A and B are shown apart, each in its own frame.
Chain A
Amino acid sequence: DAGVTQSPTHLIKTRGQQVTLRCSPKSGHDTVSWYQQALGQGPQFIFQYYEEEERQRGNFPDRFSGHQFPNYSSELNVNALLLGDSALYLCASSSSGLGEQYFGPGTRLTVT
């Protein structure tokens, strides 16, 4: 049973560029959430997707957008990258919005 997968593992971008991160949920899960984790901090909720729609959103600017596909996989897009966007981006899947979440290994984004 494949767990949550994310790609790429690492990414280096320049300030002002755009980035797309990808996530495939655990088999049987239909809800995908995205988090940003800075060093020494807990993960911060960006948004959650269910039935191809954004269901909840945390306190992140519109530069952060996402998409969910019919097969439940998801993308996170970040436009106009800032140095402060450097972090570990985690995807988590669940079978309900408030239930147990299972995390992928994350994408480590460095903005220079």
Chain B
Amino acid sequence: RKEVEQDPGPFNVPEGATVAFNCTYSNSASQSFFWYRQDCRKEPKLLMSVYSSGNEDGRFTAQLNRASQYISLLIRDSKLSDSATYLCVVNLHITGGSYIPTFGRGTSLIVHP
């Protein structure tokens, strides 16, 4: 099992749709979770941190489920400009008590007119 897993997609949705992505992680002791957005051939850009209580930023909602070891990202009212790859990052707990920032491979979102 991969340490941080994402469905690569692509998720193909019409404008205005609601779409959700999940990201599962292997170690329950992991902490500090984030969602990044990456456009083609560009660097990842921080979208939002993920807090235990869940958090919202405009059309974007992030949630953490520690019991089931996943984080989620919900995008409401999708825009054409939301088309990108969405990467989750988990600070994965490793042997020795350290944490390593570990990315998923990303989920591709295509929003069409």
Which residues of A come within 8 Å of B, CB atoms? 33, 35, 40-45, 48, 56, 58, 90, 97-106
Contacts and interface: CB of A to CB of B under 8 A. Distances in A.
Given A43-B44, A98-B91, A100-B46, 5 more contacts: A35-B103, A98-B32, A101-B34, A101-B101, A105-B43
B76 interface: no
Interface in B28-59: 31-32, 34, 42-46, 49
Contacts of A99: 32
Contacts, number: 49
B79 interface: no
Chain B interface main SS type: strand
A58 B104 CA distance: 15
A89 B42 CA distance: 11
Interface in B89-103: 89, 91, 98-103
A42 B104 contact: yes
A50 B101 CA distance: 15
B105 A40 contact: yes
A104 B101 contact: no
B87 interface: yes
B9 to A, nearest CB: 12
B32 A58 contact: no
A64 to B, nearest CB: 15
Contacts of B43: 90, 103-106
Contacts of A56: 98-100
B101 A33 contact: yes
Closest 10 CB pairs of A and B: A42-B103, A103-B43, A98-B32, A42-B105, A98-B91, A43-B103, A103-B44, A105-B43, A41-B105, A42-B104
